[in-house]
Amino acid sequence: MSVLKSSLTGNILILTINRPEKKNSLTMEVVEEINRALDENKGYRVVLIKGEGGFFSAGADVSIFTNLAGKDAESFSRRGNEIMDRIQNSDAISIAAVNGGAYGGGLELALSCDVRIISPNTKIGLTEVNLGIFPGWGGIKRISQLVNKSYARYMALTGKVLTGKEAFERGIAQVLSENVDKDSMDLAQSLAEKSEESVKRIKKLLSQDVYSTEQESRLFGEVIETKQARELVQKFLNRTK
């Protein structure tokens, strides 16, 4: 059985982690399959990531840690980080449809996405500390960008588990939904219609912790001359006449 199901619907790439019997826990094979799907599919504007069987991901498959030597663990962390960074910094908009649970590496995968849609009773947490390790795929950095550093510190040090409602209230998830599958697909379809040139530049600015207003102005100057911008501005003017 394939560990990842991928399908291209128009310009939306849907990636489904397919290990329901293991609560969609992540091995390097799963992560590499995500990376390969991003390479092999063409023309997508939005990437929607979800889990099979009503569970997002229980995190890294703990069984792989039993015989992992230090150098191998370092490589495991580095490669996972590269792929999470690729998702976050891609020109495509990424959505995590979080149902059932997202723990450890599963939450780190969700945090690498631009948008997280979550159901109220879903449970999430950076729970690695309970295994004597810590988030190795950029989870501490990314959670610190969403909540204040004091609370990020608390989550990482305690392995605190939040409900979906609490995650939404903390700003970790942007959309609270009773029907995650439907609402995530509706959002994906809406976002796929946004200007590709505009989105690309917005994401370029957001990928940097600090950027100058000079850089912002330069990118604004670039985008205003694109065909998409000209067409959308004219369409708006025609509609308001």
Digit-coded pLDDT (tens) for 107-154: 999 999 999 999 999 999 999 999 999 999 999 999 999 999 999 999
Catalytic residue among 21, 74, 82, 128: 128
Report d(CA 14, CA 36) in Å as an integer: 13
| Predicted local confidence at residue 127, as pLDDT | 96
pLDDT on residue 228: 85
**Tokens 């069987």 map to which residue?**
53
Helix axes 70-89, 28-40, angle to 10 degrees: 30
Query: Active-site residue 216, yes or no?
Result: no
**Percent of the chain predicted with pLDDT > 90:** 77
Where are the domains positioned within the chain?
Answer: 4-191, 196-239
pLDDT at 68 over 80: no
Please state whether 104 falls in left (phi above 0), alpha (psi between -120 and 50) or beta: left
- Can 52 be counted among the known catalytic residues? no
- Tell me 158's DSSP state: H
pLDDT at 210 over 80: no
The SS3 of residue 173 is coil
From the list 108, 196, 216, 225, the catalytic residue is 108
Q: Encoding tokens for residue 102?
A: 């997202």
Q: What is the pLDDT of residues 2-42, one digit of tens each?
A: 899 999 999 999 999 999 999 999 999 999 999 999 999 99
Statement: 4-191 belongs to CATH 3.20.20.80: no
